[in-house]
Homo-oligomer: A and B are copies of this chain.
Amino acid sequence: MLARVPKRPTLQDVADAVGLAPATVSYALRGERGSDETVARVRAAAARLGYEVNPIAAALASGRSRTVAVLCGSTRDLWQQSLVAALARELMNRGWHAIVADADGHPEREDALLAQLRAQRPAGLLVAPLDPFAEQWEAVASQLPLVAIGDRLSRAPSAGAVVFDNASGVAAVFDHLAELGHRRVAVVLPRRPSTPDRPAERLVAREAKRCRMSVDLVRTPPATADRGEMTAHLAAALAPGPAGTDSPDRPTAAFCLTDSFAFGVLRAARSLDLEVPRDLSVVGFEDVDFADLAGPGLTTVDWGRDAVVGAAVGQLLTALESGRGLEVRTIAPRLVVRGTTGPAPTRR
In the bound assembly, the distance between CA atoms of A85 and B78 in angstroms comes to 10
Interface segment, one of A36-44, A116-124, A164-172, A186-194: A116-124
Task: Find A98's partner among B53, B100, B158 (CB 8 Å cutoff).
Answer: B100
Q: Is residue A267 contacting chain B, with contact meaning CB distance below 8 A?
A: yes
Shortest CB-to-CB span from A79 to chain B, Å, is 12
Q: Is residue A35 contacting chain B, with contact meaning CB distance below 8 A?
A: no
Shortest CB-to-CB span from A127 to chain B, Å, is 15
In the bound assembly, the distance between CA atoms of A52 and B121 in angstroms comes to 12
Report chain B residues within 8 Å CB of A298: 294
Report chain B residues within 8 Å CB of A267: 292-293
- How many chain copies? 2
Report chain B residues within 8 Å CB of A104: 89
Which chain B residue has the least Cβ–Cβ distance from A266? B294
Shortest CB-to-CB span from A78 to chain B, Å, is 6
Total number of A residues with any Cβ neighbor in B under 8 Å? 55
In the bound assembly, the distance between CA atoms of A199 and B81 in angstroms comes to 31
- Contact A97/B84 with A59-B56, A267-B293 known, Cβ cut-off 8 Å: no
Q: Mark A93-123, 1 if CB is under 8 A from B, else 0.
A: 0010111111010000000010110011100
Can you list the 10 inter-chain pairs with the closest CB atoms, starting with the nearest? A295-B295, A263-B293, A75-B85, A294-B294, A294-B295, A5-B143, A88-B100, A92-B101, A56-B59, A81-B85
Which A residues lie at the B interface, using CB under 8 A? 2-3, 5, 52-57, 59-60, 65, 67, 75-76, 78, 81-82, 84-86, 88-89, 92, 95, 97-102, 104, 113, 115-116, 119-121, 142-143, 158, 227, 260, 263-264, 266-267, 289-290, 292-296, 298
Q: Given A57-B60, A92-B100, A260-B293, 19 other A-B contacts at CB below 8 A?
A: A2-B142, A3-B143, A52-B115, A55-B120, A56-B60, A56-B121, A67-B99, A75-B85, A75-B88, A75-B89, A78-B290, A81-B82, A92-B102, A92-B113, A95-B116, A97-B120, A98-B99, A98-B100, A294-B294
